[in-house]
Amino acid sequence: MTLSQSLPQPALIVDNNEHKQAERELKKALEFAEGIIAAIPDVLFEVDQDGRYLQVWTRNPELLAQQKEMLLGKTVSDVLAPDQAAIAMEALREAGKEGVAYGRCICISLPNGETRWFELSVAKRPSADSTTTLLALSRDITERKQAEEAINSVRMQLLSVLQTMPDMVWVKNMDGVYLLCNHAFEQLTGKTESEVVGKTDFDLFAPERAKYFRVTDEEAIETGGMLVGEEWVVSEENGQSVLLETRKVPVMDAGGDIVGVLGVARDVTELNVSRQKIHQMAFYDPLTSLPNRSLFNDRLRQMITSAGSRGQRAGVMLIDIDHFKAVNDTMGHPVGDDLLCQAAARLNASVRDFDTVARLGGDEFAILLPDISQGDDLGRIAHSILDKFRERFLLDGQEVFISCSVGIALYPNDSADANDLVKYADSAMYLAKRSGRNGFRFYSKDLTASAEERMRLESDLRRAIERGELELHYQPKVLLDSGVMVGCEALLRWRHPEMGMIPPVRFIPVAEDTGLIVELGQWVLREACQTATELNADSRSPHKVAINLSVKQFQSAGLVKSIADILDETGCRAEWVEIEITESLLLDQKDETLQALSELRSMGFSIAIDDFGTGYSALNYLARFPIDTLKIDRSFINSTDRRNEELVKAILSIARCLGQNVVAEGVETAEQAAFLAANGCGSAQGFLYSKAVPKADIIALWLRSPAGGPNANERLCETIPS
């Protein structure tokens, strides 16, 4: 053998080394794969497309449906129950078609009699040839399945409990979408759970109600705790209003994040009725339904606190029915109870809406009167109460006349202490009883006297017109440059048969408060228009009579028509009359006042603002309203303050710019007249020229004036010196 023959061929040596290297790599791969299979608890099967077991790998052979040797060569249908085999074959077909299949669960009965659940994951095995096999990974999920079944069981039990609960229960996610609700909620909304789940409140309720629900959900989420509230809703089941007590709490996931809202609502309608009954029993008189002593004392303290903080006055009245015991003794207690109920109704009708009428016990009532401007207000209310009681009571079919006695205490004048006010009002009430009953008394003697005088004035004023006690006096109005009279102002006077001449400052406020001012105003208009007719009968130039109209006259219906009727009745012409109003009227009823004044202006009346500068002066009204004349109040004329002179100059300047006349009131000295004339004031009235005089005197003065009579030429200031 030659050397060349004895040496190995190089090509053969290389092939052998590569083969050995490949074997080593393959062995490593197999060992790695076996290591993976040994490490996982799952069972790995290789099967063909018919579901025939080709290979099985597992470290837990007890999880196999049959022993490994028995499985190989059999099909899935041979080993598993038909329904489970069908599930497995469906997974194999899907993997053969799509390449993978996940999530199929089957139940297998093991040789030891145990039943366990497995989850299949199937994938097509890579292959270099045309042979197609499948790898199926079978994972034991029995414990997970048991946990899910336990959770579902608990969930079903919970849902059963929720469905039997009388309370309404629901769950919403963060977007307000309903996730579940119970039968009680279905009854409230009139919709089934299937109709509710997946919807929001805006799909189920009116927009405002839905918005409110959404806001409360967000509040519960923001606070992170329980939100409790009460709300009235209308039940779709019967259409009745239901009061619900709602509790809302945020729902959290395992990580502590809020994922929704749980709501529970309970029907507390009957409970609310019971609460109201308890409250009624605790704070209201069962016979008259008025507040009882307990509620009266509570409101009394509130009234004092409020009045003290606002600097207001307030009143306390105690009322006792005169001879009530006699009614009880002669007609019986049921009739006495009827009398108390009727008395309570009359007391309520005598006071303002925000006053409190209470029954303290027996025949004793009390009234709380906050926000009192003056003591006379209390006297007027007490007078109204006495008037109500003068009307007959119908008791057990009989007409009975019952009076009462009223005692009044005033905060803070009499006391700032609640107990003292009640005590003083009680003392005043017994004083009223000792004084003959059927009357009232203040704890303060001065207030009692003032109220009694006001009552008498009101009573007498109601009959003053029919008795002919009223009369008009007229104060002349003159030109400042010549002293010649050009008009006058009608001023009301009351000649009382016992008290003599009563100044307007005493009885006009009474007329305003009682509404008599409208009737008095009609009388004044008629009388003044009649006088204007007589003054202008034979005069060479017109004589204007100024007539004051009150706010209440403008508030009464048909003012313009009634004035027109008076013109027709008296033969007066509108250009002979000037209507005087106050500044406050321009603010109280802007639109109505503007319309009325415009109508009067179109009829020929001139319009004047009386006491200009003392009210709520607003210069834009001077341009907006049909104003002809400004009357400067006497307080500016009779002042020694130099600043008032500047104000007078300013008023005169404004009037000139607006083309309005100016009349100065209360002119008493020649120096005042000279100042006014020097600054462009056209007319004046006051004691420098004449006081207010009766009708006959004003006619006489007019006939002697250059404008009124054909032969007279006296200046008024020379005719009647101040």
Q: Using one digit for the tens of pLDDT, what is the confidence trace for 576-626? A: 999 999 887 776 556 778 888 899 999 999 999 988 877 655 577 777 888
Do 708 and 702 contact (CB within 8 A), yes or no? yes
The pTM score is 0.48
**Mind listing the pLDDT tens digit for each residue in 267-309?**
887 777 777 777 667 789 889 999 999 999 999 999 999 999 9
Q: How far apart are CA 563 and CA 568, in angstroms?
A: 9
Distance CA 235, CA 269 (A): 12
**Is the confidence at residue 341, as pLDDT, over 90?**
yes
Average pLDDT over residues 411-419: 91
CATH match of 17-146 with 3.30.450.20: yes
Across residues 493-511, what is the average pLDDT?
A: 89
In the chain, where are the structural domains located?
17-146, 165-272, 285-462, 465-719
Task: Give pLDDT, residue 33.
Answer: 65
Give me the mean pLDDT over the 551-575 stretch. Answer: 90
Task: Choose the most confident range, by mean pLDDT, from 45-59, 135-149, 417-431, 521-535.
Answer: 521-535
Asked if 168 and 244 count as a contact pair (C-beta separation under 8 A), the reply is: yes
Give the integer Cα–Cα distance in Å for 419 and 115. Answer: 87
Is the pLDDT at 239 greater than 70? The verdict is no
The helix or strand, by DSSP H or E, that contains position 511, with its residue range, turns out to be helix 504-514
Q: pLDDT exceeding 70 applies to what percent of the chain?
A: 90
Angle between helices 445-464 and 375-390 (to 10 degrees): 60
pLDDT(6) > 60: no
Cα(198)–Cα(193) distance, integer angstroms? 10
The pLDDT of residue 331 is above 70: yes
How much of the chain, in percent, has pLDDT values that exceed 90?
41
Percentages of the chain per state (helix, strand, coil), in multiples of 5: 50, 25, 25
Within 8 A by CB and 6+ apart from 711, the residues are none
Q: Chain-wide mean pLDDT for the chain?
A: 85
**pLDDT the model gives residue 96:** 87
DSSP type of residue 52: B
pLDDT of 450 higher than 50: yes
> Looking at residue 7, what is its pLDDT?
43
CATH topology (fold) of 465-719: TIM Barrel (3.20.20)
For the chain, give the number of residues: 722
For residue 681, what is the DSSP state? -
At 703, list the tokens.
Answer: 């006939």
Going by pLDDT thresholds of 50, 70 and 90, the confidence category of residue 459 is confident
Q: Report the pLDDT value the prediction gives residue 704, as an integer from 0 to 100.
A: 86
CA distance 363 to 402: 12
Rounded CA gap, 536 and 543, in Å? 6
Query: In 582-680, where do the E strands start and end?
Result: 606-612, 629-632, 661-665
Domain 165-272 -> CATH class: alpha beta
Position 444: which residue type?
S
Same fold, 17-146 and 165-272: yes
Please state the CATH superfamily assignment of the domain spanning residues 285-462 in this structure: Reverse transcriptase/Diguanylate cyclase domain (3.30.70.270)
